[in-house]
Structures are given as C-alpha cells and as structure tokens.
C-alpha cells in the first residue's frame, strides 16, 4: 500500500466529489485556454488580413508603377546628363551647340551601378537639314538603354535602332508620306561658323530602311526626329565616339532628390552637368509617394481596427478570467474542505496508526494535484476546441497542441491545486483524533 494507491482507491470510491472537482478545474482552464485561443486566432487573422492588404497594396503599387512607366514613356526621360562645357542658356534656347562628351561616359555610368537613376540612354543629337527633303530635322543616334551593373533590367523606355534602319518622327512621316519599309536616302547638312561667315557643310549620304513610324507625341523633339543607330549616327554626323547627352530616368527619392542624384553622378562623371525636367519628375515622385502613403494609411487603419477588437477581447478576458479562476479556487477549496469533513474518521485512523502530519497532508494535496492535472488536460482540450469554434477559424489539428500553453496550464493548475487544498489539508492534520474517532 502506498499513498498514491490510497489516493486512487479513494477517488474511485468518491467518484462524485472527484468528478465535480475535475469539472470545476476543467471549466476554469477551458475558459482561460479558449480566451487565449481566441486572442491567438485574432492575432493570426490580423496577420493574414494585414498580409493580404500588403499584397493588395503591393499589387496596386506595381500597377501604378506600370501605369506610371507607360506615362513616363510618353513623357520621355526626365534627366539630361550633359557635357560640363555646354552653355545651358543656349541649350534651353534650343540653339545648336556643338559640345560633346565621350560615349564611354555612358558605359562608365552603367558599370558603376549608379543607384539614383534608371534607364541610361546615350544619345548623339544634332539639329541638321535633310537635303533630299529640304527639311530641318533632329537626328538622334542611339544604341539603346545600357544595363546598369547589378540591377534588374527594366523594360526600356526607348528601344535600340537596328543598324541600317531609321525610326521616323510623326510629323516627318506624316508630311512627307513616308511608310514603314521605305528606303530613304539621307543626305544631311549642318551650318558651320567659320570666322565671321556661316557656311553649310554637306555630310555623306546614307541609305536607310524605315524600321518604324512614331506615333504623334506633340513634342517637337520627337515629332521631327529621325532615330538611327548610334554608330551610324556618329559616322554620318562625323562625331566618332561622341555623344551629346545621356538621358535617364531618376529613381524615386523622397527627400532632396536632385541633390542626391547630382552628388552621385558628379562622383562618377565629374565632367557633366544635370538638368531635371521638373514637372515630370515631380509628378512621378508625388504619384508614387502618395500611393505609398495611402497604402501605409490603409494598413495602419486595418491594424488599428484589429487592435481595437483585440483590446475589447482582452478587456473582457481581464475581468472574466480572474473571476473564473477565483471561482475555481473557491470551488476546489470548498470541495477539498468537504472531502476533509467526510474523511474525518479516516484521519483519526491514520493518527491512531501513527501517521505523521506530512503524509496526511500529502493524501489530500496529492488528490487535489491529481484532480488539477486531469482537469487542466481536459480544460485544455475543451478550451482549445471552443476557442477554434468561437473564433470562427478553420479547424486545424495543429492548433490543438501548443506545448508552451499546455505546460503553462499544467504548472498553473498544479500551483492552484496545491493552494486550494493546502488549507483544508492543514485543517485535516489539526483535527483532534480522539474527537473524530469518538464522534464517528
């Protein structure tokens, strides 16, 4: 015979007392676990909602970015990187300026992994006369956009022009009746100042096939332009290895945008100067920043709403859980006291047999601990299932087992059981054995 076996026999004998004690603990633990499960589900749901919102926002941002990219495509590049020696007043006045920089600058910029700009497009641009048509035009030579080192390649705003071909601006092909696939002779001439006199110098004739006809843009730069391959343009215009500018699209830097761009590009290409096409750049930055701001606000609103719901549940739990726990403690204590009273003569027998205080207390506390642990296990299972049902979440087997929570519940209930049974057990050992043996 051991104390453990004695406890089990007694439990089997007084089933109702034991069942009521276990039920009391089960209810208390189930309430606690259900609340925790609901709160945990709430948190998980919040994370899901926020993640969905963020995904939604990212998609919206991507769509906006794409829309903007298309708009930008029409607006053109918003940064001009020009040779340092170029007179900006003449450039703004759209006068012919024969100041160039090496084509290698564009390569250097792309290879540097520059962070503040996108879409690096080297251009040789010159205002000339198309002798065959007697029309002033803009010749633009390009080799297409350069890939920036270590950066994901983006869809180009301006495609390269294949060698031997030409892309014709809208006004030119409209007024001259040029069609795609036409072969055109291109003899250009430029005005050159020699001393006091201005002379016209003819350039070698080139024969090109019309590769593409540009749609109307309403921008003079585009509508009277002929885009040709850079290498061929350098040859035709007799500017070997030279370009007149690098077009670029600035990145979206929120604060002090231009200063950062200037700083970075100057460090890579000291012999250049930068012109920002303000309205386009501003519009781009504002649109993107506004979208990002609104996305953040939408997520913040959702988080606040979810937090409010959580606060309400926590407030309820803060009141209900202690009440249930106190009720449980009281219930267990009362049942333990009742148990002690019922077993008064038993205590007298143990005394008569020479049992000390400690083992007598162990009989009562041991039973309470067993009651608590069984109630805790049942309460944990009931509470988790209740929590899953009440939080209207999908039933997941994995959610039934949270080792940390289970451990917390078991340890907590163990302490609660000992606390609730301690005073009744102490009462038991204080009983006068002669009195209880006599009275029973």
Residues that bind other proteins (CB under 8 A): 1-3, 6, 9-10, 12-14, 345-346, 348-357, 359, 432-434, 437-438, 440
CA–CA separation, 22 and 379 (whole Å) = 9
Query: Looking at beta carbons only, is 54 or 427 nearer to other proteins?
Result: 427
Query: Looking at beta carbons only, is 2 or 398 nearer to other proteins?
Result: 2
Q: Least distance to other proteins from the beta carbon of 349, Å?
A: 5
Q: Least distance to other proteins from the beta carbon of 18, Å?
A: 11
CA atoms in the 13 A half-sphere facing the CB of 350: 22
Q: Least distance to other proteins from the beta carbon of 388, Å?
A: 39
Q: Least distance to other proteins from the beta carbon of 38, Å?
A: 41
Tokens matching residue 59: 């998609």
CB neighbour list of residue 165: distance below 8 Å, 6 or more residues apart = 208, 209, 210, 211, 212, 228, 229
Q: Least distance to other proteins from the beta carbon of 348, Å?
A: 7
Q: Which residue has the tokens 């205590």?
A: 347
Contact 119, 249 (CB under 8 A): yes
Query: Looking at beta carbons only, is 331 or 348 nearer to other proteins?
Result: 348
Query: Looking at beta carbons only, is 6 or 206 nearer to other proteins?
Result: 6
Q: Least distance to other proteins from the beta carbon of 366, Å?
A: 13
Q: DSSP 3-state assignment of 226?
A: strand
Query: Looking at beta carbons only, is 4 or 278 nearer to other proteins?
Result: 4
CB neighbour list of residue 266: distance below 8 Å, 6 or more residues apart = 272
Query: Looking at beta carbons only, is 3 or 258 nearer to other proteins?
Result: 3
CB atoms closer than 10 angstroms to residue 248: 26
CA–CA separation, 383 and 377 (whole Å) = 10
CA 51 to chain centre: 8
> What is the dihedral sign for C-alpha 172, 177, 181, 187?
negative
């Amino acid at each position: 015979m051991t104390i453990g076996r004695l406890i089990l026999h007694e439990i089997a004998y007084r089933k109702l007392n034991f069942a009521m004690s276990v039920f009391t603990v089960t209810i208390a633990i189930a309430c606690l676990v259900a609340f925790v499960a609901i709160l945990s589900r709430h948190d998980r749901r919040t994370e899901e909602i926020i993640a969905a919102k963020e995904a939604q926002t990212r998609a919206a941002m991507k769509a906006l970015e794409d829309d903007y990219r298309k708009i930008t495509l029409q607006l053109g590049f918003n940064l001009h990187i020009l040779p340092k020696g170029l007179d900006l007043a003449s450039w703004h006045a759209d006068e012919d300026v024969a100041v160039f920089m090496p084509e290698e600058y564009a390569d250097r910029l792309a290879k540097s992994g520059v962070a503040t700009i996108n879409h690096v497009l080297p251009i040789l641009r010159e205002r000339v006369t198309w002798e065959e048509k007697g029309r002033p035009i803009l010749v633009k030579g390009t080799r297409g956009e350069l890939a920036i080192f270590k950066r994901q390649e983006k869809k180009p705003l301006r495609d390269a022009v294949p060698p031997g071909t030409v892309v014709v601006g809208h006004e030119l092909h409209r007024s001259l009746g040029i069609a795609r696939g036409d072969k055109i002779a291109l003899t250009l001439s430029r005005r050159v100042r020699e001393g006091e006199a201005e002379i016209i110098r003819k350039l070698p004739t080139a024969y090109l096939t019309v590769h593409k006809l540009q749609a109307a843009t309403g921008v003079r730069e585009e509508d009277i332009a002929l885009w040709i391959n850079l290498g061929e343009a350098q040859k035709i215009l007799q500017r070997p290895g030279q370009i007149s500018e690098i077009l670029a699209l600035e990145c979206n830097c929120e604060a002090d945008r231009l200063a950062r761009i200037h700083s970075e590009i100057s460090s890579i290409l000291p012999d250049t100067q930068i012109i920002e096409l303000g309205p386009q750049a501003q519009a781009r930055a504002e649109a993107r920043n506004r979208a990002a701001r609104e996305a953040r606000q939408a997520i913040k609103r959702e988080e606040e709403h979810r937090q409010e719901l959580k606060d309400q549940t926590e407030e309820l739990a803060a009141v209900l859980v202690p009440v249930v726990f106190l009720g449980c403690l009281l219930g267990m204590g009362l049942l333990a006291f009742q148990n002690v009273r019922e077993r008064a003569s038993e205590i007298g027998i143990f005394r008569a047999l020479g049992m000390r205080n400690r083992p007598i207390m162990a009989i009562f506390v041991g039973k309470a601990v067993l009651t608590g642990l069984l109630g805790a296990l049942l309460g944990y299972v009931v509470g988790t299932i209740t929590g899953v049902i009440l939080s209207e979440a999908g039933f997941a087997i994995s959610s039934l087992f949270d080792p940390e929570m289970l451990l917390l519940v078991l340890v907590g209930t163990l302490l609660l059981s000992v606390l609730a049974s301690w005073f009744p057990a102490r009462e038991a050992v204080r009983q006068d054995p002669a009195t209880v043996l006599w009275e029973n």
